[in-house]
Amino acid sequence: MDKKIIAGFVLIVAIVLGGGIFLATRKTGTAAGITTEAGNEPEVLSSTGIHWHPKLEIYVKGEKIPLESDIGRKNSEQPIHTHDEDFLDGVIHLEFNGRVTPDQVLLGRFFDIWEKKFDWSEGKVIMTVNGEENTELKNYVMRHEDEIVLKFE
């Protein structure tokens, strides 16, 4: 056989094997919606921004804990914040411009901005979203009009 034919055959086999290895090892996980496609590109919730309003109720040992006014608006306005007029209703404002990825709208980010710890070592935490139990807790990706209830028991 001609050496050029053998070299060409070896090159084709190497390309096919390399492509197969790439496809077999690429990341496709969706933990917190961070990676969903080859190349570790984050999932995009919106390319043109969002203006969403999930609601959050927090109970500690049965006592309702209200959100505070102007969370995320004290020094400069954060894209995740509360307003004076509806914080007592538990409304969280998610107001982002441009490209928005799930990691930007995690429930845990709201607690970080609020400067409150999202842990409870004294008992258990139960979270429901729209009436359904959810175990994502601080990794939950908030959506428009979600009704999130956190119970620290």
CATH dotted code for 50-152:
2.170.130
pLDDT band for position 21 (cuts 50, 70, 90):
very low
Does the pLDDT value for residue 139 go beyond 80? yes
The pTM score is 0.72
Task: Report the pLDDT value the prediction gives residue 118, as an integer from 0 to 100.
Answer: 75
**pLDDT single digits (tens) 38-90:** 456 679 999 999 999 999 999 999 999 999 999 999 888 999 999 999 999 99
The mean pLDDT of 115-137, rounded to a whole number, is 90
Q: How many Cα neighbours within 13 Å face the side chain of 118?
A: 19
Closest by CA position to 82, among listed 56, 100, 103: 56
Q: 24 or 106: whose pLDDT is higher?
A: 106
pLDDT band for position 117 (cuts 50, 70, 90):
confident
Q: What percent of the chain has pLDDT over 90?
A: 64
Strand, helix or coil for residue 89: helix
**Identity (one letter) of the amino acid at 15?**
I
Task: Report the pLDDT value the prediction gives residue 65, as an integer from 0 to 100.
Answer: 94
Structure tokens at 137: 């807790």
- Distance CA(128)–CA(119), nearest Å, equals 16
The domain locations on the chain are 3-33, 50-152
pLDDT band for position 123 (cuts 50, 70, 90):
confident
Task: Report the pLDDT value the prediction gives residue 75, as an integer from 0 to 100.
Answer: 85
